């Protein structure tokens, strides 16, 4: 009986430790308990959010244990990253997990909630590690990138350390002809559009009488579909009509490529660019 009680106590103790590890993240991005001093809560800094934005993410490990001990841990992390990508629908443009104490990501939210993505990913990795010590130092750092130069700068900075990488722990090795099609994790084609086409972020200027907000464009499109007696799903399946509307809305709105993609069923920037090119666009 005493052995059973001792075993139960041990199990409960481990469970509580894991719950404390997990509780460092919540849906509101609260400040971790470790950053509170003198029993007083530090003010929470709200994150800049854009469900269709591109983010630079950095997660620092704690001083107690290395974030990545070996190749096995790194492979496990990449597996978790790909699993979450499939679940939430975000895009991965670059990553670096070479260092043992930190990881870097360049991701396109693509309609997902970045807070939920990071919470789910860090919890999954923490559960995989089963570490008795705190695995992460505070919460993750995120920066919303507002133009293609910012994306390019972060992309090049992340890949700077990967020029001699051969094991796949820096996405640099996937941006060459030999391995370009071998990875399902990195979205190279969409990133190439982002880096090449400034219209991805920029709205059209000097467009007299054009629709200037996403909400107004969405309202106008729904009215047009209503006149055609078309449901949204039916409209999106008709690629010829959809592509014509994309072309029309490129001309009569100031929406960026990302906003056009969102308006027309969540298409990627590369897909929008291809449609516009097929319609004789100057993208």
How distant, in Å, are the alpha carbons of 190, 221, 223, 247 from that of 244? 22, 12, 16, 5
209 and 261 within one domain: yes
For the chain, which residues score pLDDT lower than 50?
Answer: 2-8, 11-12, 14-16, 18-42, 281-283
Is 169 among the domain residues?
A: yes
Domain containing residue 69: CATH number: 3.30.70.1290
- For 104, the enclosing helix (H) or strand (E) is strand 102-108
DSSP notation for 129-175: HT-SS--B-SSPEEEEE-SHHHHHHHHHHHHHTTTT--SSSBGGGGS
231 and 207 within one domain: yes
126 and 222 within one domain: no
pTM: 0.64
58 and 190 within one domain: yes
The whole-number pLDDT of residue 84 equals 97
Q: Which residue range forms the structural domain that includes residue 158?
A: 46-195
The whole-number pLDDT of residue 56 equals 96
The whole-number pLDDT of residue 206 equals 60
Is 147 among the domain residues?
A: yes
The domain boundary, picked from 172, 195, 218, lies at: 195
Is 1 among the domain residues?
A: no
227 and 160 within one domain: no
202 and 189 within one domain: no
Is 19 among the domain residues?
A: no
The whole-number pLDDT of residue 12 equals 44
109 and 233 within one domain: no
Helix 214-227, helix 239-252: angle, nearest 10? 140
Is 273 among the domain residues?
A: yes
274 and 203 within one domain: yes
CB 206 within 8 Å of CB 238: no
Is 126 among the domain residues?
A: yes
Who contacts 23 (Cβ-Cβ below 8 Å, separation ≥6)?
Answer: 33
Residue 210 burial (C-beta neighbours within 10 Å; 0-12, 13-18, 19+): middle
The whole-number pLDDT of residue 77 equals 97
169 and 67 within one domain: yes
The whole-number pLDDT of residue 25 equals 41
- How many domains are there within the chain? 2
191 and 203 within one domain: no
The domain boundary, picked from 195, 225, 246, lies at: 195
The whole-number pLDDT of residue 31 equals 36
**Cα 200 from chain centroid (whole Å):** 16
148 and 52 within one domain: yes
The residue assigned the tokens 């990545």 is 68
Is 171 among the domain residues?
A: yes
Tell me how crowded residue 72 is: count the other CB atoms within 10 A of its CB.
Answer: 9
Is 272 among the domain residues?
A: yes
Helix (H, G, I), strand (E, B) or coil at 88: helix
Tell me how crowded residue 268 is: count the other CB atoms within 10 A of its CB.
Answer: 19
The whole-number pLDDT of residue 254 equals 87
105 and 61 within one domain: yes
**DSSP letter assigned to residue 25:** -
Measured at the alpha carbon of residue 137, what is the angle toward residues 117 and 38, in degrees to the nearest 5? Answer: 120
The domain boundary, picked from 163, 195, 227, lies at: 195
Residues 135-171: tens digit of each pLDDT: 998 899 999 887 778 888 999 999 887 776 667 788 8
**CA quadruple 269, 271, 276, 277: dihedral, nearest 10:** 110
């Amino acid at each position: 009986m005493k052995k059973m009680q001792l075993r139960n106590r041990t199990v409960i103790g481990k469970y509580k430790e894991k719950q404390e590890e997990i509780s460092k993240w919540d849906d509101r991005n609260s400040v971790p308990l470790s950053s509170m001093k003198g029993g007083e809560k530090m003010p929470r800094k709200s994150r800049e959010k854009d469900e269709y934005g591109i983010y630079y993410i950095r997660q620092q490990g704690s001083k107690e244990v290395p974030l990545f001990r070996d190749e096995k841990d790194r492979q496990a992390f990449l597996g978790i990253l790909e699993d979450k990508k499939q679940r939430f629908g975000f895009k991965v443009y670059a990553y670096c997990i070479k260092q043992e104490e930190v990881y870097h990501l360049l991701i396109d939210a693509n309609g997902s909630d970045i807070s939920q993505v990071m919470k789910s990913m860090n919890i999954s990795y923490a559960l995989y590690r089963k570490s008795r010590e705190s695995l992460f130092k505070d919460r993750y750092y995120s920066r919303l990138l507002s133009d293609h130069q910012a994306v390019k700068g972060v992309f090049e900075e992340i890949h700077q350390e990967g020029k001699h990488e051969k094991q796949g722990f820096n996405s640099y090795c996937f941006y060459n002809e030999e391995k370009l099609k071998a990875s399902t994790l990195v979205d190279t084609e969409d990133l190439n559009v982002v880096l090449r086409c400034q219209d991805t972020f920029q709205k059209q200027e000097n467009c007299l009488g054009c629709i200037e907000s996403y909400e107004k464009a969405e309202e106008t499109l729904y009215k047009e579909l209503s006149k055609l007696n078309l449901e949204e799903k039916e409209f999106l399946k008709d690629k010829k009509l959809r592509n014509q509307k994309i072309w029309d809305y490129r001309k009569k709105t100031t929406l960026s490529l990302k906003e056009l993609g969102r308006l027309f069923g969540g298409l990627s920037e590369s897909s929008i660019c291809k449609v516009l090119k097929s319609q004789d666009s100057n993208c």
